[in-house]
Structure 1
Amino acid sequence: MHHANHYYGHSHVLARYCGIDGDPPRLHGYLQHGWNIGDGMAADHEFVAGTPLLLWSERTRRRAWSLGRRETYVVGSPWAYLLLQDQAPPVRRDGTIWYPFHGWEGQHVQGDHDRLIAEIKDTEPGPVTVCLYWQEFRTASVRRRYERAGFRVICHGYRGGWWEDLDPLFLHRQLDELRKHRRVASNRLCSAVFYGALAGCESAVYGDPMVLDRENLAFGGQARIQRQWPELHGTRTDPVVAREIAVAELGADRLLPPEELTRILGWTGVPR
């Protein structure tokens, strides 16, 4: 199994949906682990020819097909399966959960956090929770800026990597937080914004989008995102439209029954 299939507890969510207890078995294919505007796969991953791509949505599958990727299956996002399994009763929502654009272990973000903090303060009407990626959260100079601004600062955890430090409950914690908040926002359109829209939050994308070190612009980058999804950018967006787009991008309209998903993931015959 490619180690990225375990990111954020994705394989654990799918295994639970398929009725498999314990650690998820080997998954036959490359599972999309984040929203992107290309073929669904991370640009830095190496692939074995002929291995299936397990994609979140029909939109992503069409892009992958246009790039010559033929072994593709639309399975829906783990996030959408989690919401299907964890249908908690409604709770009172308050304030905004804000996700500053982040880098990852191989690339870091460059930007003015102080200016972003000022924009958040000028825009958000209620209490603000800032959720940082683990790298920024562990960087005291970054974390303390948001704390000094009076924001509640959290981290959902470590996504895991190379089969170590796996966190099956990452998405569960994220869902708990999103359900507490009325709004979700970021300075770039990203998985978290779509997750929040699907989980019932109002969404917003505004502020300095910052710069990712050595950012790959092969698919059009930030300029294309703003051009293709203008309805999702701004301090206030239409929640009905945002949810419709989130359903399409996260494949919430393409979820498979457990038996079919089990077959596609190569888990037929695995003890339940």
Structure 2
Amino acid sequence: MHHANHYYGHSHVLARYCGLDDRNPQRIRGYLQHGWNIGDGMAADHEFVPGVPLFLWSERTRRRAWSLGRRQTYAVGAPWAYLLAMEPEPDGPRPREGTIWYPFHGWEGQQVVGDHDRLVAEIKATEPGPVTVCLYWQEYRVRRVRERYERAGFRVICHGYRGGKWDSLDPDFLRRQLAEQRRHRRVASNRLCTAVFYAILAGCEPAVYGDPMQLAGEVPLWGGQPRIRRQWAELHGPQVDPVVAREVAVAELGADRLLPPAVLRRLFHWPDPPSRPAGADLPEETR
């Protein structure tokens, strides 16, 4: 089915949770939400075959999709939430330091337009500790953009390439992102976005502030930034209540409704895991 189901290693994480081969996951019979948005959960630039099910992250998103006319929808939880369930922090939370900052980014079809120098100044005026700036792969490979943040004294990283058209898939994308976020005490961005919700669930204190920038030719779908700032006002500002933020992140990522592996396999039309031979867990000399 749709190649976007494999973005960021989502299908790989879910295959692992389902007890299947997570290096070569089977195709999902439907469309899997791959990023947070305020509409039906699906990317606005993708064309969809009517009648094919949508696998959305949360009940909130499923209700929004229903209101927009989508009918065959299922709330299954975000792959990120399954990853955290499978990989809790070892031996409890470890000391964290500084902020991981995600500037709003473009994508293959649109470039971001904004003043990076102004954003650097806002970050330096707000963040008390060391800052790691995580750029999307497009901005990261543009030297003049990357060097603006490096010259400010920030550590600059990229989580990697999300994959596309069943090519250059990265099963470990989310695991790298999780490892980075667990190093930091805070997460911040100039727009409320997927990475902020992920980091909240991973234990970071969130902030959303600064010039929100724009995409070239951006169309404010479903109400755009004005609606986001209005509806999720409690998540905006340089200081945000972490308890409230976690409640919202759990609801938006569907972390409160993760499905059993057998149910996910049935929804995706995936097979059961291969049976283990009798005695496979016993030492060889006792078989």
Q: With structure 2 as the length reference, what TM-score do the two structures score?
A: 0.93
Structure 1 residue 174: deviation in Å? 0.3
The residue number in structure 2 matching 1:256 is: 259
Of 90, 95, 104, the residue aligned with 1:92 is 95
The residue number in structure 1 matching 2:219 is: 216
The residue number in structure 2 matching 1:2 is: 2
Q: Distance in 2 between matches of 1:61 and 1:217?
A: 21
Secondary structure of the residue aligned to 2:51 is coil
Q: Distance in 2 between matches of 1:88 and 1:209?
A: 32
Q: Distance in 1 between matches of 2:137 and 2:56?
A: 25
The residue number in structure 1 matching 2:19 is: 19
Q: Distance in 2 between matches of 1:78 and 1:105?
A: 23
The residue number in structure 2 matching 1:82 is: 83
5 Å matches for 1:42-121? 42-89=43-90, 90-121=93-124
Structure 1 residue 265: deviation in Å? 1.1
Matched, 1:170 2:186: no
Structure 1 residue 26: deviation in Å? 1.3
Gaps of 5+ in 2: 276-287
Structure 1 residue 270: deviation in Å? 5.9
- Structure with bigger gyration radius: 2
The residue number in structure 2 matching 1:190 is: 193
Q: Distance in 2 between matches of 1:54 and 1:219?
A: 20
Q: Which moved more, 1:86-95 or 1:124-133?
A: 86-95
Structure 1 residue 218: deviation in Å? 2.6
Of 216, 233, 243, the residue aligned with 1:240 is 243
Q: Distance in 1 between matches of 2:259 and 2:86?
A: 13
Q: Distance in 2 between matches of 1:229 and 1:145?
A: 30
Secondary structure of the residue aligned to 2:36 is coil
CA contact (8 A) 2:201 2:249 kept: yes
Q: Distance in 2 between matches of 1:263 and 1:92?
A: 40
Q: Percent identity?
A: 76
Of 136, 141, 146, the residue aligned with 1:138 is 141
Q: With structure 1 as the length reference, what TM-score do the two structures score?
A: 0.98
The residue number in structure 1 matching 2:282 is: none
- What CA RMSD, in Å, does the superposition of the two structures yield over aligned residues? 0.9
Aligned residues: 272
Of 123, 129, 144, the residue aligned with 2:126 is 123
Gaps of 5+ in 1: none
Q: Distance in 2 between matches of 1:33 and 1:215?
A: 20
Q: Distance in 2 between matches of 1:51 and 1:193?
A: 30
Q: Distance in 2 between matches of 1:88 and 1:116?
A: 32
Matched, 1:229 2:232: yes
